[in-house]
Amino acid sequence: MTLAVRGVSWVFAYLGVVIAPLVFAAIGAGEPHHGFWTNFSVALAFTGLAMMGLEFALVARFRSVAAPFGQDGLLQFHRQIGLAGLAFVGVHVAISTRWHAVPTSAALRAPALVWFGVAAAAAVVVLVVTSVWRRWLRLSYELWHVAHTVLAVVAVACALVHVYLINEHPGLASYVGTLWKQLLWGLMSAAFISLLGWVRVIRPLARRGRPWRLERVGRERGQTTTLVLTPPPGEPFRFDPGQFAWFTFGRSPFSLTPHPFSFSSSAERNEVEIAVRALGDFTSRIGELAPGTKVYVDGPHGVFSIDADEGPGFCFIAGGVGITGLLSMLRTMADRADVRPAILIYANRDWENAAFRDELGRLQERMTLSVVHVLERPPANWPGEAGYVTRDILSRHLPPGYRRLQFFICGPAPMMDAAQNALLDLGVPGERVHTERFTMV
Ligand SMILES: Cc1cc2nc3c(=O)[nH]c(=O)nc-3n(C[C@H](O)[C@H](O)[C@H](O)COP(=O)(O)OP(=O)(O)OC[C@H]3O[C@@H](n4cnc5c(N)ncnc54)[C@H](O)[C@@H]3O)c2cc1C
């Protein structure tokens, strides 16, 4: 099946799951006392709940789901659906409190149905607020991630209980009352629990018996550390150059917060390398890891690869540590004796911190590669490009017929946005511009 067909199938499957509870609730729910607003409110809640349940599937790292859309695309969608879910829940709560108001004095004696609904809605609000304003709230990624997971489970679990309790409410029972409607909700709940079990228990359990080994640790320029890893004996590992994986170093495979890193080595070699820049608490200590450390690897993931988007030649645009996946593509091309032309525009703060610059020089001797360094703070008498990656810099260095190349961009978000816009401005078709963002939240 082609990626496009797979993508369309997933979209239909998604819409099917979102709409199914709505259709089921609508059939036979036309009791006269319900009225438009009650029906509307229930419709929003059912759709919102299905969307929230599917949020887990979007970030469950299923390769077949991510393949047509890319990990970035799925994450963007996950964020937008989170906001839409909040809006659906908000309107549902507003309508329900307007039409089925519980006086404040009786709030404590409100039925369990109300309490589970309130708990689900509150969890969704906190979930969205802490995600949108994580940095402003100064939440570390690890704390945010654990809280996000727990709140999401609480929200969906409480919402499901809220739905089951509707059955005990004489005015509303017809929305979920019949056997086949209960079967549907039972199926949805089972799917949700199985998904959780699969992602948090079965997959880590499978990884536990197959740890990787950290072989060597090497220092690079720009506070970057190269880690050389070997897969479990007898399990050769294949990845496409440019892909990434989730890594857990020296901790349990059940650890909630693994870290994503792109492979930096050639996809044609047996040893696997990643290169990590010290940017925070975890990455600053990664150089202290001792050879022999057990590593758990969930991957490969991603579609940011010359193997996924073939072309007559390639233009790579890297900013800082964004070089890692692009370096993997270049190393792989050199090992494959790929003669297609490649140009690398490589932006760094200064010359000293340009990681792998010596190796890039050597790669130019093994393949048709030109490297353009762009330095934010160039040394005196620097003959090359200075400042940021701009439309002017790109148009100075792109070869004739550049619109037919495949473009791969990875680096800090502002650089990526600027480079992407400049390329579109220069007439490069959007489908030839591929990006990988290192910041998920
Ligand atoms: C697809 C992808 C590929 C990446 N490839 C590389 C690479 O090849 N080399 C490299 O040096 N970095 C890479 N990164 C970035 C790297 O994962 C983060 O810099 C690292 O996890 C930061 O951890 P920290 O605790 O040191 O920093 P912190 O200061 O805790 O975090 C800095 C930022 O990194 C992100 N982050 C932190 N922890 C995680 C986590 N567990 N999962 C996801 N994001 C997190 C958050 O946005 C956070 O704001 C990649 C990221 C992604 C998404």
CA 352 to ligand 1 center in whole angstroms:
23
Q: Count CB-CB contacts under 10 A for residue 340.
A: 16
CA 80 to ligand 1 center in whole angstroms:
21
Token pair of 150, please? 């727990």
Report pLDDT digits (tens) over 87-96. Answer: 998 999 888 7
Token pair of 390, please? 């701009």
Predicted model pTM: 0.89
For tokens 């919402």, the residue is 159
Please give the radius of gyration of the chain, using alpha carbons only, rounded to the nearest integer: 26
The whole-number pLDDT of residue 32 equals 62
Separation of first and last alpha carbons in the chain? 32
Please report, as a single letter, which amino acid is at residue 84: A
Q: State CA 276 to chain mean position distance.
A: 19
pLDDT averaged over the chain?
90
Instruction: Give the residues across from 384 on adjacent strands.
Output: none
Tell me which residue has its CA closest to atom 17 in ligand 1.
260
Q: Kindly state if the Cβ of 62 falls inside 6 Å of ligand 1.
A: no
Closest ligand 1 atom to the C-alpha of 325? 8
3-state helix/strand/coil string of 283-328: HHCHHHCCCCCEEEEEEEECCCCCCCCCCCCEEEEEEHHHHHHHHH
Q: Kindly state if the Cβ of 265 falls inside 6 Å of ligand 1.
A: no
Closest ligand 1 atom to the C-alpha of 283? 26
Report pLDDT digits (tens) over 95-141. Answer: 877 666 666 666 667 788 889 999 999 999 999 999 999 999 999 99
Helix (H, G, I), strand (E, B) or coil at 63: helix
For tokens 């995600």, the residue is 131
The best mutation among 71, 248, 438, 440 to test binding of ligand 1, ranked by most ligand atoms within 8 Å of the C-beta, falls on: 438
Helix, strand counts (H, E) of the chain: 13, 12
Tell me which residue has its CA closest to atom 19 in ligand 1.
279
Cα–Cα distance for residue pair 208/249, rounded to 1 Å: 12
With beta carbons less than 8 A apart as the criterion, state whether 242 and 326 touch.
yes
Residue ranges in the chain whose pLDDT is less than 70? 1, 27-34, 98-108, 173
Task: Say which residues have a Cβ less than 8 Å from residue 321's Cβ, sequence separation at least 6.
Answer: 222, 224, 275, 276, 277, 279, 355, 411, 438
Phi, psi of 367 (to 5 degrees): -150, 175
Tell me which residue has its CA closest to atom 25 in ligand 1.
282
The whole-number pLDDT of residue 60 equals 86
The whole-number pLDDT of residue 440 equals 72
